Structure 1
Amino acid sequence: MVSLFGQSFTRTELLRRIGRLEQVAGIIPGSYDDGPERSVRYLDLRSGGGLEARVMVDRGFDIGELRFSGIPLSWRSTNGFRAPGLHVAEEEKGAGLLRSMDGMMVTCGLDHVRGAAEGPAGHFGPRRDTAQYPLHGRISQAPARFLSQGESWDDNDCCFHCEGLVRQSMMYGETLELQRRIEMPLGGASLSITDRVRNAGHRSTPHMQLYHLNFGFPLLDAGAALLLPPGRGQQVETRAGFLTQQVPSAEAADEILEVDPVSGPDGRVSVALVNANLNGGLAVQVDYDASALPALQIWRHFGLGMNVLAIEPATHHAAKRAALEQAGQIRFMEPGEEIVYSLTLSIHAGTAALERLRRN
């Protein structure tokens, strides 16, 4: 049964009441036509249950904006959704992403995450000795090839989906592909992301990935609480310092907490940002497969005009690339090899829903 507007419907009952499903929910394509965002394509997904997501087709098929019942949940930077042609990853000594980063989800990778670095490139043959890696890699600003969008019914349940393919390649270098499928159930308050990363080249290639899931005002405000998963060997006072959020201040600086999470019986890890004072209580829960993403980092910056908290599941713990290489901790994908990542974002609204979330 589909739940919409406080009522339940079978497929037949719902379709008798509307001429097109888009009247209540669905996927609408669009593009920006002015300023630095001009020509950037996107898809607007609406569940009919209050959840809305803007998928940025030309920005790595990432999620630019996330809203629930009209309330913005995602962080936005001063940059805006700049067109990919304006992005230069190598500028600012490899920190070009700081001139382009924006939105709720920024996928980092596919061969490097975190600070700009240099590394060996001998695995690609004799043509290159070293490789340059800009901040958080290159994939997030690459335009996707739009593969499909649609709806699928399973008896009386319906799910919307969209799919895109992003490629990162270089002559005498890597050829990596990310195929992403985003699904949103009709009438629901969640969306799932399934990523398939494949080495489409003919050489062994390093792979790293991090999901920069960025949340901002009004969800992130004074008194909002972070629900962290159980962890190994973390200092209680350090974790506690990250649980309650603060107001922006001129003295704020970057703060990072690395969590070594213990997954649940299903092999997944759950993190949530909760604001009990927002619209009767609202929370976003991030749930992901810990076997593919064993590391977890929380980044926040309460500077004026910043006010951001990011939940960051990753393939590697926070360390410089050279240290990871020396320790043999960078994974190499063989030609044709594929890795699957899965994440779910769920919205919880109301006092009772927040209490259930805290108990779980």
Structure 2
Amino acid sequence: METTLSSTRDGVSNHLLFDRSSALDIAAFAVDGTDLSPGSAIPSDGDPRIDHALAGFLFTCGPDHIRHPEPVEGRDDGRRYPLHGSLAGTSVIRAEMSADGTRCEALIEVDLACGGKAAVERRWSVSENGRSVILEDRVTNVGASAFAPMMMYHMNIGGRLLGPETHIVSPSLESGSLGWQFGMGESAHFCIPAHDEEGWSEVSLAPLPGLGGRRLAVRFRVDTLPFLQMWRCQRDGANVISIEPGSHRLAKRPELAASGELGVIEPGQARGYALAFAVS
């Protein structure tokens, strides 16, 4: 079952197509009929869940792991956290759309690789002025043991929409601006501390010639998403760039645990995350 959230502001129409089969992530984000998602222009890591999710505009890593597979702590049976965590590919238990089509709420329960269980209460909405789409997530430990929450949000943009003039703009960057084809070679990424401006951080891609020169701006809460990660891939048929607010720096789990950065939530405890994005 498809779920769509729509808004129109200053003559510009926005349509979000949610994916109920994968945690109510965003399968498509169309602005005046142009989808920002990369579609089939993505690389494959061999995980069908992620291949499906990466083709859309937004998918969620976590709530138990982000990035590439690593061994589950305290086990000797070879069990590993899956690529980008356990949430992707998890169907929605319940979803409800508001009568005016500007708000959608959902509940997802996910079995964690460590043996625990988490509930994700997800709320998508359009801001009062109609300019921004807002995501609010509440992750609750509904299992019998503590687990380390990790979250990352991948906002994937088709490289076909960008041009030589397109830049990443953010106060998180030392220079404030960076060409979108950063790094060396066909693929590159970086992860830096997010600049805190009254509890939120911002990054944008602009201009987007394939979207009439418009600007995509993303804001996210820095208390639980204190890092800005970005990734691009222009390899073989892939052509994608991703804005990825994340909960943890780029390091292995044992290193994060040893430095006290991994953290845990006990049964019954919860943690909240939020982001917003707009095209203008």
Scaled by the length of structure 2, what TM-score is found? 0.87
Matching residue within 155, 176, 179 for 1:244? 179
More helix by share: 1
Identity of aligned residues (%): 27
Residue number in structure 2 paired with 1:55: 18
Give the length in aligned residue pairs.
Answer: 274
Q: Which runs of 5+ in 2 are unaligned?
A: none
1:139 pairs with 2:87: yes
Deviations along 1:77-114, whole A, 9 cap, x unmatched? 358xxxxxxxxxxx95xx55454332111100010111
Contact 1:54 1:64 (8 Å CA) reproduced: yes
Unpaired runs of at least 5, structure 1: 1-40, 80-90, 123-127, 153-158, 349-360
How far does the alpha carbon of each residue in 1:205-252 deviate from its partner, in whole angstroms, 9 at most, with x for none?
A: 121111111111443333212112235xx5x5xx86xx2235xxxx94
Letter in 1 for 2:186: A
Instruction: Identify if the C-alpha distance between structure 1 residues 287 and 187 changes in structure 2 by more than 3 Å, giving closer, same or farther.
Output: closer
The aligned residue for residue 276 of structure 2 is: 344
Bigger radius of gyration among the two: 1
Does the 8 A contact of 1:220 with 1:308 survive in 2? no
- Measured in 1, the distance between the counterparts of 2:196 and 2:129 equals 29
Residues 115 and 320 in structure 1, CA contact (< 8 A), matched pair in contact too:
no
1:261 equivalent in alignment to 2:194: yes
Q: Secondary structure at the match of 1:206?
A: coil
Tell me, what secondary structure is at the counterpart of 1:74?
Answer: coil
User: Structure 1 residue 67 and structure 2 residue 30: aligned?
Assistant: yes
CA distance in 2, matches of 1:310, 1:64: 14
- Report deviation, 1:256: 0.8
The alpha carbon displacement at 1:281 in A equals 2.2
The 5-angstrom pairing of residues 1-360 of structure 1 reads: 41-49=1-9, 50-77=13-40, 95=47, 97-100=49-52, 101-121=54-74, 131-151=79-99, 160-169=102-111, 173-185=115-127, 188-231=130-173, 234=174, 236=175, 243-246=178-181, 252-264=185-197, 266-275=198-207, 277-278=209-210, 280-348=212-280
Task: Report 1 or 2 for greater relative contact order, CA contacts < 8 Å, sequence distance ≥ 6.
Answer: 2
Deviation sequence 1:9-51 (CA, Å, 0-9, x none) = xxxxxxxxxxxxxxxxxxxxxxxxxxxxxxxx32122213311
Deviations 1:169-191 (A, max 9, x none): 26982111111110125882321
Q: What's the TM-score once normalised by structure 1's chain length?
A: 0.69
Tell me, yes or no, if the aligned pair for 2:86 and 2:113 is still in contact at 8 Å: no
